[in-house]
Every structure is written in C-alpha cells, then in structure tokens.
C-alpha cells in the first residue's frame, strides 16, 4: 500500500491505509474487506497493459491457521472466520490458502455450486 499508485488509489476512495484504520474499517463496516479488495483489484486493473485482461484474483494466505481452533482467542477466531467466509462467498475472485504443519495446503474458491475443497491431516507429516 506504500507504492504510489496504491496509496493514491486508496486515498482517492477514502479508504484506510494504516493497520489500525484498516482494522477499525473492517470491524465497523459490514463489507469492509470486500471494499478494500475491490479497490485493490481496480487499482491493479487500471495499471494493466491490456484492456481485456482478466481482473486479478486476490489470494489470502492464512499462516498458522491451525491457531484458529485453539481455545485461546476463540471469539477473535470466530469473527475472523466469519469475515473470511463472507469474503470468499461474496467475491469469486478471492482465494484462501492455509499451509498447516499437518495439513496439505487448503485452497478454497467461493464459486458455487461446488463446495470449498478441504483436506484431512496427512498421517505422514
């Protein structure tokens, strides 16, 4: 977001740039993540070399996703899962990936009617 075209594009759309402001925006705006992703996608698309280029896909990489299932921080984890689920359902050009220590990479595309893919823990790792 510090690259000039992103900073300018976000500023022109009156969207937050600092971590604290982004956190507040997502917490207080029902479709905050979708608005941010849409703006980022529009900014990238505007800089594309071809007018007929496909809109970019946003990849959410969820590091240490297994911590979402711990007792500690359960309320935060529940809220985070709600936000990510909503984004994946609303935005077909958003993917989520979570490389976990005992799980193969999970990659979900929120296109329907097929359900998101899930992998069970691998006994060999």
Comparing CA positions, the residue from 121, 118, 99, 122 lying closest to residue 108 is 118
Each residue's pLDDT tens digit in the chain (125 positions)? 678 888 999 999 999 999 999 999 999 998 999 999 999 888 888 877 666 777 788 888 877 777 888 888 888 888 888 888 888 888 888 877 766 544 434 444 444 433 444 444 444 44
Residue 93: DSSP 8-state:
T
Beta-bridge partners for 103: 100
Residue 113: DSSP 8-state:
S
Q: Where are the domains of the chain?
A: 1-56, 58-125
Quote the pTM value.
0.68
Residue 38: DSSP 8-state:
H
User: Does residue 7 contact residue 1 with C-beta atoms inside 8 Å?
Assistant: yes
């Amino acid at each position: 977001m510090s690259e000039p075209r992103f900073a300018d594009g976000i500023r022109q759309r009156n969207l937050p740039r600092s971590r604290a402001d982004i956190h507040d925006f997502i917490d207080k705006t029902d479709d905050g993540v979708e608005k941010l992703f849409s703006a980022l996608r529009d900014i990238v698309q505007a800089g594309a070399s071809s007018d007929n280029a496909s809109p970019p896909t946003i990849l959410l990489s969820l590091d240490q996703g297994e911590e979402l299932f711990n007792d500690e921080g359960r309320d935060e984890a529940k809220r985070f899962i709600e936000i990510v689920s909503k984004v994946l359902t609303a935005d077909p050009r958003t993917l989520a990936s979570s490389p976990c220590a005992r799980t193969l990479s999970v990659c979900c595309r929120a296109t329907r009617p097929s359900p998101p893919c899930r992998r069970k823990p691998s006994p060999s790792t």
